[in-house]
Amino acid sequence: MTQAKFSLFTDGGARGNPGPSGAGAVIKNKSNQTVFKISEYLGDLTNNQAEYQALILGLNKAKKEGITSLDCFLDSELIVKQLNGDYRVKDAKLKEVFALVAELLKNFDNISFKHIRREKNKEADMLVNKALDKALKS
């Protein structure tokens, strides 16, 4: 496993809430070069469920690649505050995905969650829209 620090940028979105949703995740190395991209259609979910699913996709990819040190950047303040323990998870469906994230965290020696403004998360956002556009055209 690699101890080098990587960054994970994730975004999830739904067209309608709930509605057709997608996820995007970008993993960058310490030189800020993109090393992995994920763009996936998720089906009908809420926006918050899609945000969690995007994070799960990114964490699974990092785990598969042997990454153990990760800074995660999300533009969902709610999800970041839930993951950092500032807010309780009340929604039953979000509790399920929160539990999946909690289980995945056991694979990392060093992990953090930070909120960033949407403008700083354009690459992950673009991947969400790419997944949605592709799925909704077919």
What pLDDT, in 10s, does the model give residues 14-37? 999 999 999 999 999 999 999 999
- Between the alpha carbon of residue 74 and those of residues 37, 38, 134, the distances in Å are 15, 15, 23
Closest to 7 measured CA to CA, from 32, 24, 40: 32
What pLDDT, in 10s, does the model give residues 56-68? 999 999 999 999 9
Q: Which residues fall within 8 angstroms of residue 11, CB to CB, at 6 or more apart?
A: 23, 24, 25, 51, 54, 74, 75, 76, 121, 124, 125, 127, 128
Question: pLDDT confidence of 4, banded at 50, 70, 90?
Answer: confident
Q: What is the mean pLDDT of residues 76-85?
A: 97
Report all structural domains of the chain as residue ranges with CATH numbers, in order of start.
Answer: 2-133 (3.30.420.10)
Q: Is the pLDDT of residue 1 over 60?
A: no
Q: Is the pLDDT of residue 43 over 80?
A: yes
